[in-house]
Amino acid sequence: MIRSTKKTHRPTCRGISFRELRCGTAKVHCRVEELREKIDSQTGEVIASNPGEIQEHDAATIRFETEPVVVERFAEFAEFGRFLLVKDGRNIGAGVVLTTNLRKVC
């Protein structure tokens, strides 16, 4: 689960893909799996649960599906807990990693 502050001129909803999610030096494709909650960026209060979309300058808790990539929870390792979303060569969002789904890769 990732908390993201969006800065795009198009709404984002479930199923939207981003060409790049950057974390450290890694660049991977990602897709929005779930918009869990819309958050007031000033107070941190949840405004809406399971919103249909988020708009420019909205803060939200989002679950992404990505290619395998090394990330850490921001609270544990800040350098690998920050990310940037890129679409069409433009930075459109940034956020921090709140939780991860660990998968065994062999």
Q: pTM value?
A: 0.76
3-state DSSP of the chain:
CEEEEECCCCCEECCCEEEEEEECCEEEEEEEEEEEEEECCCCCCEEEECCCEECCCCEEEEEEEECCCCCCCCCCCHHHCEEEEEECCEEEEEEEECCCCCCCCC
pLDDT digits (tens, 9 = 90+) for 39-89: 988 888 999 999 998 888 888 999 988 888 888 889 999 988 999 988 888
pLDDT digits (tens, 9 = 90+) for 3-44: 554 445 567 888 888 889 999 899 999 999 999 999 988 888
Enumerate the domain spans of the chain: 2-97
What's the pLDDT at 103?
65
CATH annotation of 2-97? 2.40.30.10
